A and B are shown apart, each in its own frame.
Chain A
């Protein structure tokens, strides 16, 4: 499969200070806790306008949490979350909803409406937010479905779709209102290599043809590096590595190497914080 190499843009050698100026989304020193647990601890990242930014990290490292912060579903305990110049945690409901009309979040699970057909799922945001006449609406929906190659599946209901198809329908729904930014939560998990390639190509096409700023959250290093312009690696609530995919692959940092090469244990602990293993087992026995 032929894909433009990310190296093309390497020439620009973007560095953090410039990146901050170009940023459509900025997280600055964000701290977030669930109960006692610190999930994010001083995390800073930028997603440049019109680019594909990847956020990689192990399971439970807080990637979905980052997307929820950007979408305004949760508020940080400290730090700034800025999208297109607006401080997300400070928006009131109306302004937040206005901002959300311009951004789309593709859920890990797809989150299609199970009682609506594929067609109606894609039509849903258009019906809710515009007064398009029915024939025009039909055209728009079919165009979106064509983009993801599922025009023929319009009358199916979500339970009749495969995982990969469901994700493409969700993608069609996400672009229905032509957002300025799309966030993809684990777009590749649970898909066969071909479907992964299809989704990767779609993400890239949407980014290039519509100029949609994209944030891809994933732990699929290969696919993600293939399509992204800049990548962050999250661990222990912080960014533990960043750079263009090329730079990351060349990186000598132990953190980065561990993740990029998929080593089971290293500086990033594989374990959820827990008490001593041996002690835990012995305690059980003595009861």
Chain B
């Protein structure tokens, strides 16, 4: 009986939180209007996200690309198709690994930082103070961070893919002796703009919205104590990672089904 009760309470709680998160998203969207006049607020946030994530994204991209080069070569060489290594690396990165791995890293680094920052602002009454100064914290604090995250995420994913291709090149061409001309030309002719690049961008935008939404909501909704902020930060990482993987499956199924 108790277990059932707990399950019920858990479900109710989740649904309620989801509802609140949706209303919150609406508030943020409605409060984003003034940002067009004060775009520097968004630029500040893009910069903050960039400082946090740029290095980790580039290093990870490089290694993922190098691993792809090794693994891809190993498989392709069995069919004598090692010339296609460039294509394989590029497609894996642009369609899948770029957006997904970037989003996971983004959640762990920038997302958690966002939640902690907003949660602490709430715990120390900075948000309440803003409200009492007749400044809407949704417009002034949340919306710029939300917009910044959404803009930064596709840029970071693109960077990840670019560095990854470089990594694949280093391993494939530099180490394993794949012909450089073939590496690039296969990639050039094989990667389709609409099917591959646009799909990758759509994914990374979707992930950017999801992760940033979860991050700002968890911060804004956090219990205003140090423990509450810690819990919220934790939640951001777990929820947004799961959400990214789930949404990735759905988007992949949709785009591949159409081909």
Q: Which residues of A contact B (CB under 8 A)?
A: 71, 73, 97-98, 100-101, 103-105, 107-109, 111-114, 124-125, 128-129, 173, 177
Pairwise interchain contact A109-B124, C-beta atoms closer than 8 A: yes
Residue from B120, B121, B133 having most chain A Cβ neighbours under 10 A: B133
Q: Which residues of B contact A (CB under 8 A)?
A: 120-121, 124-126, 128-129, 131-136, 140
Q: Closest approach, in angstroms, between the C-beta of B85 and any C-beta of chain A? A: 47
Q: Can you give 14 A-B contacts (C-beta < 8 A)?
A: A73-B131, A97-B134, A103-B132, A107-B129, A109-B125, A111-B126, A112-B129, A113-B121, A113-B129, A114-B120, A114-B121, A114-B124, A128-B135, A129-B135
Closest to A116 in B: B126
Residue from B125, B128, B132, B140 having most chain A Cβ neighbours under 10 A: B132
Q: Closest approach, in angstroms, between the C-beta of A283 and any C-beta of chain B? A: 22
- In the complex, which residues of chain B have a beta carbon less than 8 angstroms from the beta carbon of A128? 133-135, 140
- In the complex, which residues of chain A have a beta carbon less than 8 angstroms from the beta carbon of B124? 109, 111, 114
Alpha-carbon gap, A107 to B124, bound state (A): 10
- In the complex, which residues of chain B have a beta carbon less than 8 angstroms from the beta carbon of A124? 133, 135
- In the complex, which residues of chain A have a beta carbon less than 8 angstroms from the beta carbon of B128? 73, 107, 111
Alpha-carbon gap, A173 to B130, bound state (A): 11
Alpha-carbon gap, A220 to B147, bound state (A): 46
Of A71, A98, A114, which contacts B132 at CB under 8 A? A71
Q: Closest approach, in angstroms, between the C-beta of B127 and any C-beta of chain A? A: 9
Pairwise interchain contact B126-A114, C-beta atoms closer than 8 A: yes
Q: Closest approach, in angstroms, between the C-beta of A166 and any C-beta of chain B? A: 11
Alpha-carbon gap, A142 to B212, bound state (A): 38
Q: What are the 6 tightest A-B residue pairs by CB atom distance, in nearest-first order?
A: A111-B129, A100-B134, A111-B125, A97-B134, A105-B132, A101-B134
